[in-house]
Amino acid sequence: MIKKLFREMLVTQIVSAMTVMLCMLIDSIMIGRFLGVDSMSAYGFATPLLLVFAALGSMISAGVQVVCGKTIGSGDREGTDACYSAAMFLSVAISTVGIALVFALLNPLTRLLGAGAASPDNAVFGLTKDYIKGFILGAPAFLCAQVMVPFLQLSGKRTRLVIAVVAMTVSDIVFDLLNVFVFHGGTFGMGLASTLSYYIALAIGLLYFFGKDCMFRFRFRLMRLRVFKDLVAYGIPTVINQISTVLLVLLLNRLLEAAQGTVAVAAYSVISTLTNICYCFGTGIGSVAMMLASVFYTDRDRRSIHELVRLMTIYAILLDVAVMAIELLVAVPLVTLFLGDDAEAVRIAAFGLRLVVLSIVPSSLNSAFKNYYQGVNRIGFAEVISALQNFVFPALFAFVLSRFLGVTGIWLGYLCGETAALITFSVVVWKHRGRISLSADAYSMLEPGFGTSEENCLERSVQSEGDAIAVSEEAVMFCREHGLASRESMLIGLCIEEMTVNIVRHGFGADRKKHHIDVRLVLEGDVRVIRIRDDCVNFDPVHYLKLHESDDPTAHIGIRMVMKTAREANYLNSLGWNNLTLVF
């Protein structure tokens, strides 16, 4: 079931990340083809500012993934609402302050970004300034849309998320075309087109959050300082990641301009846009890994964590090898989309793209593990990987190699930097392990004694009534082997059979999809816990029984028996799963 969930979440996360990048890609193509190389350079100079706002949105989004993953993993509904309330408030507050600061400091900020001083001979300054003005108006929608993504994933509303990002892409294309061919709004119009498309995506997402079936509730009374601190603390590695990327872009823009002028900067803008689309696969894998890792870590589910590490590693390698091969084959046609007939710019960009895409596989692995380590509370380790991967090593190699190889050395800085970061964090993992190992257990970096030992945990899958009965009987034997009394063992087995058979009969036939049930029984000390997960239609047996408690006592007798037998029963729907925990 984890593999199925991972694939479903991954597709949605990649589509979400890629659609944002596609909007930037569309802007780049329109700017390069219809507004000229100066406008393309202006877009390149403005990119670091866009990345700063992306960093802030990613920080909150990453904090949500970890904090909400923990509250959902522990069944803490109030904690989940507190996270939601704080995240949405923080997004609006940061974007409002950000807009005010950018407009107040627009001229010095444009100079700081590398666009030079305002003068009649420097068209790039005005073009950069115009793009910033158009884009910054969409900051609230941009940040809030980023923060909504993990909440829609956690609530299982992946279809709505895909609809929102597809609508954003289509509207961005339409608005860009209108700007170029109807309104002639220049770079300001291109920035404004992105702004309008973000607001459309936000509106589609908000329809769920204001709906009756929303699992999150905005509550001012829950917004305590501790929640804000947790969101920021768990999001810091992502901020370091984005800030490092901003610093790297600034540095490489300067190195490229010094080496080959603004044409190299324009080429780098094209390369960044195209490789960012490739990096969406690693970003998507990392986001899913972070969210699931935080849930499984809170649940102390060692087996699921190992499976997650294996899945994210396999998908990172396979997907990115395929993407890398495609980019290598079609490098020239791709950069020509942006740069048109400018032969020199096309030559520089195509050659650079082919070198930079070689870094995709190590980059994807670095991103996946960095995000995973955020999810399992190794925040410091994730912060170090972020800094090494996104600035320290690429900047160092680009600076040194450029002295010998010129622009070629700058492009090679990506491959050398990402590879060095991968080797460095692997050495730390091996040191922690005590030996060189490529196993999921080694790279999971879990503390000794983490989770329930295998001898005290029974985990089985159910896909039919026959499976349900078989697992029930196995659970009885498991309980007896652990010294439980015959009556208690029979009751635990009966509870498993009753709930799983009920799911098979009423959940599996609700649609034509294939469904799964995972049963986990933990016997450790005085603890007897059954956790049942399924991917069927939402059904809360705890709430259902409360609604029907005045009915005939012989009705729903199976659920009544289970709830009466268990000392505690908790239900939560998250990630598209029904999660029922019974404590005896």
413-460 pLDDT, tens digit per residue, is: 999 999 999 999 999 999 888 888 888 889 988 887 777 777 888 888
The yes-or-no verdict on residue 178 having pLDDT over 70 is yes
The yes-or-no verdict on residue 224 having pLDDT over 70 is yes
| CATH code of the domain containing 577 | 3.30.565.10
Instruction: Answer yes or no: is 48 within a domain.
Output: yes
Residues 356 and 476 placed together within one structural domain of the fold: no
φ, ψ for residue 426 (rounded to 5)? -65, -40
437/456 Cα distance (integer angstroms): 27
Tokens of 209: 């959050």
φ, ψ for residue 522 (rounded to 5)? -115, 125
Give Cβ neighbours of residue 445 (< 8 Å, ≥ 6 apart): 373, 376, 378, 381, 429, 432
Tokens of 243: 């800030």
Q: What is the pLDDT of residue 362?
A: 93
Q: pLDDT higher for 430 or 565?
A: 430
Percent of the chain residues past pLDDT 90, beyond the cut = 13
Residues 326 and 383 placed together within one structural domain of the fold: yes
Q: What is the pLDDT of residue 333?
A: 86
The per-residue DSSP string of 330-382 comes to: THHHHHHHHHTT-HHHHHHHHHHHHHHGGGHHHHHHHHHHHHHHHHTT-HHHH
The per-residue DSSP string of 105-140 comes to: THHHHHIIIII----TT-HHHHHHHHHHHHHHTTHH
At residue 15 the predicted structure's pLDDT band, cuts being 50, 70 and 90, is confident
Q: Identify which of 430, 437, 409 has the alpha carbon closest to the alpha carbon of residue 352.
A: 409
Residues 427 and 489 placed together within one structural domain of the fold: no
Residues 436 and 490 placed together within one structural domain of the fold: no
Residues 433 and 507 placed together within one structural domain of the fold: no
Domain boundary among 409, 443, 477: 443
pLDDT digits (tens, 9 = 90+) for 491-539: 888 888 888 888 888 888 767 778 888 888 888 777 788 888 888 887 7
Q: pLDDT higher for 27 or 102?
A: 102
Average pLDDT over residues 185-210: 89
Q: What is the pLDDT of residue 189?
A: 92
Give 184's strand partners.
Answer: none
Question: Hey, CA dihedral for 51, 57, 60, 62, is it positive or negative?
Answer: negative
Q: What is the pLDDT of residue 552?
A: 60
Q: How many domains does the chain have?
A: 2
Domain boundary among 386, 418, 443: 443
At residue 477 the predicted structure's pLDDT band, cuts being 50, 70 and 90, is very high
User: What are the Cα distances from residue 316, in Å, to 242, 245, 362, 365?
Assistant: 20, 20, 9, 6
DSSP designation for 180: I
474/66 Cα distance (integer angstroms): 35
pLDDT digits (tens, 9 = 90+) for 99-143: 999 999 999 999 888 887 888 888 889 899 999 999 888 888 888
Contact 315, 10 (CB under 8 A): yes
Give 580's strand partners.
Answer: 532, 571
Residues 485 and 511 placed together within one structural domain of the fold: yes
Average pLDDT over residues 308-315: 92
Tokens of 107: 């001229």
Instruction: Answer yes or no: is 290 within a domain.
Output: yes
Average pLDDT over residues 209-231: 85
What is the chain's mean pLDDT, rounded? Answer: 84
Q: What is the pLDDT of residue 289?
A: 87
Q: Identify which of 164, 75, 223 has the alpha carbon closest to the alpha carbon of residue 574.
A: 75
Q: Identify which of 128, 125, 145 has the alpha carbon closest to the alpha carbon of residue 196.
A: 145
Residues 307 and 430 placed together within one structural domain of the fold: yes
The yes-or-no verdict on residue 547 having pLDDT over 70 is no
Instruction: Answer yes or no: is 333 within a domain.
Output: yes
Q: pLDDT higher for 239 or 103?
A: 103
Give Cβ neighbours of residue 422 (< 8 Å, ≥ 6 apart): 362, 365, 366
Instruction: Answer yes or no: is 359 within a domain.
Output: yes
Contact 296, 446 (CB under 8 A): no
Residues 332 and 361 placed together within one structural domain of the fold: yes
C-alpha torsion 351→283→390→33, nearest 10: 40
Instruction: Answer yes or no: is 306 within a domain.
Output: yes
Residues 483 and 431 placed together within one structural domain of the fold: no
Give 36: exposed, middle or buried? Use CB within 10 Å, 0-12, 13-18, 19+: middle
348/350 Cα distance (integer angstroms): 6
Instruction: Answer yes or no: is 279 within a domain.
Output: yes
Q: Among 24-28, 106-110, 566-570, name the most confident range.
A: 106-110
Domain boundary among 443, 476, 496: 443
Residues 497 and 407 placed together within one structural domain of the fold: no
Tokens of 494: 């009966």
Q: Identify which of 238, 298, 186 has the alpha carbon closest to the alpha carbon of residue 61.
A: 238
Q: What is the pLDDT of residue 321?
A: 92
Residues 119 and 220 placed together within one structural domain of the fold: yes
DSSP designation for 524: E
Instruction: Answer yes or no: is 448 within a domain.
Output: no
Contact 581, 531 (CB under 8 A): yes
Q: What is the pLDDT of residue 549?
A: 64
Domain with 461 in it:
454-583
The per-residue DSSP string of 230-291 comes to: HHHHHHHHHHHHHHHHHHHHHHHHHHHHHHH-HHHHHHHHHHHHHHHHHHHHHHHHHHHHHH
* Torsion-angle region of 37 (φ positive above 0: left; ψ -120 to 50: alpha; else: beta): alpha
Instruction: Answer yes or no: is 449 within a domain.
Output: no
Residues 283 and 401 placed together within one structural domain of the fold: yes
